[in-house]
C-alpha cells in the first residue's frame, strides 16, 4: 500500500522545524513536538543520528557541540551514554530533557501529525525499519538528495513511504522518479532566486497537475545559504509578512516549513486562509 499527504483545506500544511523550541525547551524533544502541535503544526520535522552501537535518536548530526557540549558526537557514544547527557537550553544551561530515541519520537507522534524524517539518507534501511516498528508508515514523509545510492536504497527499503526529494534551482528528476518504484509525493524546492524554475508558476502548476506537492522553506538554517530567496521567517517577523510568508501563499505551495508555526498560522488567518 502506498500513502499520500492529504491537505485539510486550501491552505498550506505547516511543518514545524524540529518542533518549536526556545527558552528552556530544546529542539528535537518531545516537548518541542508537543508545543508545535499545540501551535497548529500539521507536520513535525525531525532529524536522525545514530549511536556507536546502532540505536537511532532524534537529533541533528553534528550539532552536539551546540546542544550537548559533552565532548563527544552521538556517533561516538553508546545509546546508554546518549540517554545520560542533558540537553542544554538556549543559555547553555543543562536541562532535564534528554535526546529521545527515534522510536520514542515516532511513537509519541503516532496518529497526531505527519512526520518529516530528515537525514533519512544516512540509514535508509535502519530508519525504515524503525518507522515500521512504530507503525507510522502512513504518516511519514522521507527525503533524500538525488544521488543514485540514496534513490536505490529508497526503492529497495522504502518504496511505500511518502518520498520527497530535495531539488535546487531546477528539477531534472521528477519524470524519472515517477517511472521508478518510489512513492513520490512531491519535491522540497530550494531556490536562491525568484526566477529559479522550481518556484515558477509554470513548474508549480505542472507538479499540481501530476498530483505532486511543493514544499517550501521559510526557515533560516544558515544565513550564508538561504534557500528561499529571502522569503523567510526572519523577513516575515521583523518586516512585512506579505513579503515573506505571503510569497509562499501567493505561489500556492502545499507545505511551508517554519520555526514559527503559530505566527504563520495567524498570518494565514488574516489572509482569509483558514
CATH code of residue 110: 3.20.20.190
Give the distance from CA 56 to its chain's centroid. 17
DSSP assignment of 54-112, as one string? S-EESS-TT-HHHHT-SSS-GGGS-HHHHHHSPPB-TTS-B-S--PPBHHHHHHHHTTT
pTM, two decimals, is: 0.96
Domains in the chain, number: 1
Q: Are 218 and 257 in contact (CB under 8 A)?
A: yes
Tell me: pLDDT of 259 over 70. Answer: yes
21 part of a folded domain: yes
For 163-182, write each residue's pLDDT tens digit: 999 999 999 999 999 999 99
pLDDT score for 272: 82
| DSSP three-state, residue 140 | strand
Q: Residue 201: is its pLDDT beyond 90?
A: yes
Q: Rounded to whole angstroms, how far apart are CA atoms 184 and 192? A: 24
- Domain membership flag for residue 119: yes
pLDDT band at 1 (very low <50, low <70, confident <90, very high): low
Q: What percentage of the chain reaches a pLDDT higher than 90?
A: 93
On average, the pLDDT of the chain sits at 96
- Could you tell me the pLDDT band of residue 74, with boundaries at 50, 70 and 90? very high
Query: What is the domain extent for residue 264?
Result: 13-54+102-270
pLDDT bucket at 7, cuts 50 / 70 / 90: confident
In a domain, 4, yes or no: no
Query: Would you say residue 115 lies in a domain?
Result: yes
Residues with Cβ within 8 Å of 200's Cβ and at least 6 positions away in sequence, in order, are none
More confident residue, 51 or 6: 51
Where residue 44 falls among pLDDT bands split at 50, 70, 90? Answer: very high
Q: pLDDT band at 273, cuts 50/70/90?
A: low
Interval 76-112: pLDDT, tens: 999 999 999 999 999 999 999 999 999 999 999 999 9
* Residue 41 lies inside a defined structural domain of this protein: yes
- Chain centroid to Cα 87, Å, comes to 21
Residue 42 domain-assigned (yes or no): yes
Residue 240 belongs to a domain: yes
pLDDT of residue 252: 96
Q: Once rounded to an integer, what is the mean pLDDT over residues 232-257?
A: 97
Task: Flag whether 123 is in a domain.
Answer: yes
From the list 86, 87, 61, the residue with the least C-alpha distance to 74 is: 61
Q: 218: closest CA among 168, 169, 166, 258?
A: 258
Amino acid at each position: 500500500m502506498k500513502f499520500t499527504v492529504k491537505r485539510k483545506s486550501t491552505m498550506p500544511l505547516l511543518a514545524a522545524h524540529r518542533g518549536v523550541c526556545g527558552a528552556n525547551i530544546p529542539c528535537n524533544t518531545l516537548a518541542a513536538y508537543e508545543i508545535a502541535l499545540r501551535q497548529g503544526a500539521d507536520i513535525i520535522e525531525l532529524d536522525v543520528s545514530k549511536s556507536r552501537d546502532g540505536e537511532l535518536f532524534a537529533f541533528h548530526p553534528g550539532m552536539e557541540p551546540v546542544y550537548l557540549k559533552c565532548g563527544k558526537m552521538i556517533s561516538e557514544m553508546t545509546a546508554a551514554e546518549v540517554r545520560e547527557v542533558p540537553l542544554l537550553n538556549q543559555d547553555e544551561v543543562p536541562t532535564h530533557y534528554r535526546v529521545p530515541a527515534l522510536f520514542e519520537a515516532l511513537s509519541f507522534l503516532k496518529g497526531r501529525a505527519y512526520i518529516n524524517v530528515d537525514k533519512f539518507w544516512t540509514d535508509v534501511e535502519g530508519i525504515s525499519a524503525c518507522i515500521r516498528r512504530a507503525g507510522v508508515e502512513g504518516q511519514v514523509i522521507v527525503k533524500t538528495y538525488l544521488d543514485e545510492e540514496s534513490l536505490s536504497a529508497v526503492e529497495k527499503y522504502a518504496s511505500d513511504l511518502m518520498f520527497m526529494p530535495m531539488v535546487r534551482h531546477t528539477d531534472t528528476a521528477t519524470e524519472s522518479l515517477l517511472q521508478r518504484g518510489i512513492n513520490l509525493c512531491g519535491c522540497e524546492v530550494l531556490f536562491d532566486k525568484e526566477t529559479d524554475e522550481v518556484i515558477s508558476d509554470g513548474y508549480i502548476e505542472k507538479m499540481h497537475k501530476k498530483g505532486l506537492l511543493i514544499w517550501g522553506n521559510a526557515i533560516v538554517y544558515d544565513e550564508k545559504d538561504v534557500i528561499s530567496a529571502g522569503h523567510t521567517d526572519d523577513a516575515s517577523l521583523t518586516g512585512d509578512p506579505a513579503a515573506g510568508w505571503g510569497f509562499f501563499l501567493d505561489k500556492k505551495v502545499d507545505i511551508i516549513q517554519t520555526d514559527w508555526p503559530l505566527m504563520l498560522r495567524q498570518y494565514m488567518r488574516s489572509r482569509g486562509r483558514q
